[in-house]
Amino acid sequence: MLAKLALGNVRRSARDFAIYFVTLALGVAVFYAFNSIGMQAGFLDDYASQLVQLIAQIVSGITVFLAVVLGFLMVYANSYLIRRRKREMGLYQVLGMTRGQVSLVLTIETLLASAGSLVVGFALGILLSQLLVFVTAALFDDAVRNFTFRVSGEAALLTLECFAVMFVVMLLVNLVSLRRVSLSDLMGAERANERIKVRGLPATVVLGVAGVALVGLAYWRLTRDGLPVASTDQYQGFLVTTAIVVVGTVALFYALGGVILALGRGARGAYYRGINMFTVRQLASRVNTVSLSSAVISLILFLAIAVSASGFAMCAAFRTNLDVSAPYDASLSAYYPDDADPSAGERDLLALVEERGVDLGSVTRSSFQVTSYQPSSIEGGDSLSFSSLSQASGVALPGYLQTLAEQGNERPVEVIGQSGYDALRRANGLPEVDLGDDGYLFLCTSSKDTATFFQGVADAGVPIELAGMTLHPVDVPVDTGASATLQDGTAGSGAVGVIVVPDAALAGALPKITYLNLMYSVPAEQGDAVASDAGDLAWGDANVDADPSDPVLYYEASRTECRYASVGISGTVAYLAIYIGFVLVVASAAILAIQQLTSASDAVPSYRLLSEIGVPRPMALRSLRTQIAACFAAPLVVALAHSAVALAQVIKVVRAVGQEGVGAYVGASVAVFVAVYVAYFAVTYAMARGLVCARTDDARA
């Protein structure tokens, strides 16, 4: 009998609160699908397979965090469902059921709802995981091989464990809540919900001013300090800024209900028109009742938007054009000792590697090397630095270079001769650039900000004194293309600051680094195998046992490795951004939806009364729509404001590693999540409208 009663209750709840069940099922599906990526490794090549296995481990850890967040929100939302049914629970006891029997009915309902959500969720998750195989392959520029339909028992077990804990906690909260409430409170719950709760004007003013001030202070601090990427010393300040914005957001939402009521009453002409007074008071009560949860939801939305948009922006940054970041098939370098003999000049690295047992020439169609020199070994070179160029030109250093300079860790400027630059140009199929006897130019592939700085230095006509020569910028003073790349490297590893000067200015200078770049005469796989041997040589005992006067050999990268690194990092970041952002946005929107549906159910007597006194249904529904829209809009608007300030700093960081146009990626990711959020609002209003219309039809009959 009790089981039959519970089953009937679940059916009614499923009709009235379908969003709750759909969200739980969707959570199960997403958790399972993303945790099943480990089984996708067998469909991909070796490198992509290793990355997928690594991502699977990261996702498993993040799943626990997301399960805690989703569980907290679901437990909170479930309490609204129980509150709506308090009178029903009281009626069961009036009809003779014991409190234990009522608790048993509630337990059976929770189990049935959990089982239904799990079954539907796992079914959707298994289908989604098959599609995710092809998405994964696309993210890693790979193709699916020998695809077969698979089910991951490990992912299913992890998902089941997370949601089992979540459902047990929900059940315990429900039972404790039921046992702490007296029968009279249960029977009078519906009347208690109609009471308007709004804080007084003084408290509203204090909280509102404090909230605005704290949020403004957090914005100012973040804009001033930026993200903590230049130094670990910035972490403490960043945590303080985060704490300030959290407290400020909570204060804002605690004051919001009073602000709405005060503004509504202040506009007397509109306040007493139609049923605006009813709308304002109901809205103020709704906002005030859920102020804390709205603040939490707003912060979670901010986290979801910021993490997702930042992830896609960084993904775009790492997927740089390989023609610029890695224009050569492979690169090696050699670092000279500080006491190197200037008369020895630069070493032939191809010959040096061959002396040590690796024949790179057998796989090389063409090769060339470029040597940079120590400015301190050149007359006048001691003063050649980013800071000196900034002082001479009056152009401010980019943020990260300024931070390094302030910390005493300023990066040195490299100097190369025109002959080395000509080799770079020829290797990239470009014409040579004549510097004349007194010209110079900058190479920069690290960021637009740094390139803009160098352009400003050149525009100021800053002369450079080297080896008794006075050098001036040429007509096109900054090269940011492939010919500015001294060696293969991933995003952000290109030339930060290299000055090209006439060869005559480098006479007698100490070499600093020689870069050897190769173009294969064989397929990349075969060439990479030999280059890898050179890498083993570079990192082995050969460097230790070599003549102390020889440069220290390093293996930089191959074009294939650069592609793998770029694709691997961007694919991993994109995966996590989608996973985290989607779960948090859906959870937040679902909680708001359940809150508004519960509030609409609680307000049915009020809407019935409006119907009885002759208020037109369109007017009443407009009031309902306004209330729900405002409750959905408030957390989103605050979250978007927080995100706009945070993402502006993210874009600065991304530009610092050389990627432009990330605003489109940020905007697209934000638009997708806002669309999901708005879809939940539309469904919520449709369901609330149906609920109110169904319950007020009796009044019109």
Task: List phi, psi (to 5°) of 442.
Answer: -110, 145
- Residue 159 and residue 209 share a domain: no
- Residue 241 and residue 174 share a domain: no
Only one residue has tokens 């991909």, namely: 44
> Is 137 part of any domain?
yes
Q: What per-residue confidence (pLDDT) applies to 192? A: 46
- Residue 140 and residue 176 share a domain: yes
Q: What per-residue confidence (pLDDT) applies to 13? A: 62
- Residue 347 and residue 446 share a domain: yes
The answer, yes or no, to whether residue 50 has pLDDT greater than 50, is: yes
- Of 539, 560, 581, which residue sits at a domain end? 560
- Residue 218 and residue 166 share a domain: no
> Is 232 part of any domain?
yes
Task: List phi, psi (to 5°) of 372.
Answer: -100, 155
The answer, yes or no, to whether residue 412 has pLDDT greater than 80, is: no
- Residue 95 and residue 229 share a domain: no
Condensed to tens digits (0 to 9), the pLDDT of residues 430-484 reads 888 888 888 989 988 777 778 888 888 888 988 988 888 888 988 888 888 888 8
Mean pLDDT within 358-376: 85
Q: What per-residue confidence (pLDDT) applies to 40? A: 65
Q: Let me know: does 488 contact 559? Beta carbons within 8 Å.
A: yes
Per-residue tokens: 187: 């029977």
Number of domains into which the chain is organized: 3
User: Rounded distance, CA 543 to CA 650, Å?
Assistant: 40
> Is 601 part of any domain?
no
Residue 325: partners with Cβ closer than 8 Å, 6 or more residues away:
445, 485, 488, 489, 490, 491, 493, 494, 562, 566
Coil/strand/helix, residue 475: strand
- Residue 244 and residue 117 share a domain: no
Condensed to tens digits (0 to 9), the pLDDT of residues 105-148 reads 777 777 777 777 788 888 888 888 777 777 766 666 666 666 67
What's the whole-number average pLDDT of the chain?
A: 76
- Of 141, 167, 192, which residue sits at a domain end? 192
- Residue 237 and residue 150 share a domain: no
> Is 613 part of any domain?
no
How does strand 469-479 pair with strand 330-335?
unpaired
Beta bridge partners, 464, equal 471
Q: Which of 181-185, 479-483, 651-655 is least confident?
A: 181-185
- Residue 522 and residue 402 share a domain: yes
C-alpha gyration radius of the chain: 33
- Residue 515 and residue 444 share a domain: yes
> Is 646 part of any domain?
no
- Of 560, 584, 599, which residue sits at a domain end? 560
Mean pLDDT within 280-295: 81
Q: What per-residue confidence (pLDDT) applies to 524? A: 83
> Is 426 part of any domain?
yes
Q: What per-residue confidence (pLDDT) applies to 491? A: 45
Q: Which of 219-223, 402-406, 421-425 is least confident?
A: 402-406
User: Rounded distance, CA 48 to CA 367, Å?
Assistant: 30
- Residue 515 and residue 367 share a domain: yes
Mean pLDDT within 682-698: 78
Short-list 600, 597, 681, CA closest to 637: 681
Short-list 403, 401, 336, CA closest to 369: 336
User: Rounded distance, CA 215 to CA 220, Å?
Assistant: 9
> Is 587 part of any domain?
no
- Residue 408 and residue 513 share a domain: yes
> Is 319 part of any domain?
no
Domain enclosing residue 116, as ranges: 1-192
CB atoms under 10 Å from CB of 131, counted, come to 10
